[in-house]
């Protein structure tokens, strides 16, 4: 049980990589990249968890009343979310242009660059 959340993160990471490598549609591939990224959320939040901990927000909590989960990894995860969303948007914009220029979004059919 003590390693289970970490193993879930590893599983998600590798699943995303498998999807990326075998993808037949670039939109699907960008989605797989987002899957790889979500493994980092799981890992970061799992690393920051403390048994019985609550959110590190004191608007309705007396300081010291309960154990808190690690706020730093939550901030890191937030940064991670923003980075992931923007990268996804940019890559989808590129996929859109690929669809226009190549007339396909199947990576097997893109043969302009090789050798």
Partner 1 sequence: MHHLLPLLAAGPLLGATLLVAAGRRLPRVVAESFACAVCAATGVLALVLLLNSSPPLTEWVGGWRPVHGESVGIVVIGDGPSLGMAVLVSLLTLAALVYSWHYFEEPPRGHAGSYPALMLAFQAGMCGFAIAGDLFNMFVFFELMSVVAYALTGFRIDEAKAVQGALTFGVVNSLGAYAMLTGIGLLYARTGELAMSRIGRGLDAYGRPDALVLAAFVLVLTALLVKAAAVPFHLWLPDAHAVAPTPVCMLLSGVMVELGAYGVWRVYGTIFAGPGGIPAADLERALVALGVLTAVVGAVMCWHQRHIKRLLANSTIAHTGLFLAALGVLTPEGDDGAALYILGHAGVKAALFACTGILLDRYGNVDERALHGRGRDLRTVGVLFAIGGLALAGLPPFGTGIGKAVSEEAVGGPLTVLFVLASAVTSGAVLRVAARVFLGLGAPPPKGAAYETTGADEEPETSGRLDRIPGTMIFVPAVLLAGALAVGVAPGFPTVVSRAVAAAGTGRTPVDVHWTSTGVLLGCLSSLLAVGLAAVAVVRPGLLTAPSWALPLRRLQSGHVGDYVAWLLVGATVLGALALPGVLGG
Partner 2 sequence: MSRFFRLRVLAFGGAGLAALLVAACFDLPGFGGGSHPYGDRAVRASLARRTANVISSVNFDQRAYDTLGEMSILFAAVLGCVVLLRQNRDEHRDRPEPTEVALPVRRYALLVLPVALVTGLYVIAHGQLSPGGGFQGGVVAATALHLLYLGADYGALERVRPIGVFEVTDSLAACSYLVLGLAGVLAGTAFLANTLLPYGTFNTLSSGGTVPLLNAAIGMEVASAVVVLLARFLDQAVEIEEEKGS
Residues in the site for partner 1, rule: CB under 8 A? 9, 13, 17, 20-23, 26, 29-30, 33, 36-37, 39-40, 43-44, 47, 72-73, 76, 79-80, 83, 86-87, 90-91, 94-95, 97-98, 101-102, 107-108, 110-115
Q: Which of residues 23-42 bind partner 2 (CB under 8 A)?
A: none
If we measure between CA atoms, which residue out of 39, 12, 46, 34 comes closest to residue 84? 34
Q: Does 92 bind partner 2 (CB under 8 A)?
A: yes
Q: Is the dihedral of CA 108, 112, 113, 115 positive or negative?
A: positive
Measured from the CB atom, is 60 or 115 closer to partner 1? Answer: 115
Q: Does 109 bind partner 2 (CB under 8 A)?
A: no
Q: How many angstroms separate the CA atoms of 115 and 21, rounded?
A: 19
């Amino acid at each position: 049980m003590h390693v289970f959340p970490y193993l879930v993160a590893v599983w998600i990471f590798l699943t995303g990589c498998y999807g990326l490598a075998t993808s037949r549609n670039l939109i699907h591939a960008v989605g797989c990249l987002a899957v790889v990224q979500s493994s980092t959320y799981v890992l970061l939040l799992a690393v920051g968890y403390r048994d019985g901990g609550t959110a590190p927000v004191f608007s309705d909590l007396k300081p010291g009343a309960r154990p808190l989960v690690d706020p730093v990894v939550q901030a890191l995860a937030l940064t991670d979310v923003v980075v992931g969303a923007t990268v996804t948007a940019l890559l989808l914009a590129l996929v859109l242009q690929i669809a226009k220029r190549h007339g396909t979004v199947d990576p097997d059919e893109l043969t302009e660059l090789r050798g």
